[in-house]
Structure 1
Amino acid sequence: MATEQNEQAQDLQQEQIAEQESAHTETEQTEVTAEDLQQQISVLAESLKLEKARTANAVYEAQKSVERIQRESEKHKDTVLEKFAKELLDTVDNLERAIAAAGEDNAMVEGVKLTLKSLLTTLEKFGITEADTTRGFNADLHQAVGIDPTAKANEIGTVLQKGYTINGRLLRPAMVMVGA
């Protein structure tokens, strides 16, 4: 559409230039008549319409470009946040393993627990939450890696690694053992 308008504008401008040159030579030879002036006004009015259409088209294309860039920026931001969060989940796993291995008698365990709590709170601020494992097996949130003979059918028996979601999308599936 913009290309057609540009071509039309160029053709119109060339016609206008030719008419102006012929009008200029005629003016030198004869007086300017009202009809000539009316013709020039109509040519200029058409040129104005065309330029307004071009401007409107350029504004429209600029707005669409801004919207596209904003969408791409949001997508990029989400991707970067997702990659960063996946890296932090390894730290969460290691802190949880340290707490489980240390037992409850160690005073250092309290510091590790507080660090883990702080990290999880920070992750939640950015929409990263633990995937629910209490409502049974869900293939969208859980990855079954084995069978737990003590669990009921289609229920999660043991959680080997917690899963996480980011703003409702799966970030990492929970690795679980499921009852048969």
Structure 2
Amino acid sequence: MKTLNEWFEKGIPAQEFVSSMKVHKENLQSIQQGFSISAEDQEFFDALKKKALRVIVITEDWCGDAMMNIPILLNISEAANIETRMILRDQNLELMDQYLTNGTARSIPIFIFIDKDGEEKAVWGPRAPKVQEFVMELRSDLPAKDDERFEAEQKAVIKKITAAFAEEKHLWDEVYGSIKETLGSC
């Protein structure tokens, strides 16, 4: 089994991943440019710099959650000098299966924060709690999976979620606060 250091070394540098994206690239870049870290939080990130953290991101470019969460992480990484590497979930199930959501789901993105020795310091993902509530509320009106309307209605809900993730700054702030809280425990 690979160590976290080995997974990190195998990972794709963040900007290389973003450049290669085929899905959600424009939205991801728009969020990254539209989101900024407040000046009063910089002290927190300056303290975090001393911990020399790195982060492994389990992701895929088609994932709407990754589209919103990764650009916020990249802003945090820049502020705290955290080197970021991407691991594609579907090609690396060995790692993904160590970070299942609720012990069963291969939900992404997952952010694994490690120190210079490759020791896991914190894990975040796939969603901030308030974002999860938002998604669950939108999905609550879907018919049963065996209902003939399910597929069409689910597509409409996913479209709404993707648009909200791309545009609603209060959701970005929830992600930011949740990641920052996780990093506070490092």
Instruction: Tell me whether the two structures share a fold, i.e. TM-score over 0.5.
Output: no
Which TM-score tier does this pair reach, normalised by the shorter chain? under 0.3
Structure 1 or 2, whichever has the larger Rg, is: 1
Q: TM-score, normalised by structure 2?
A: 0.23
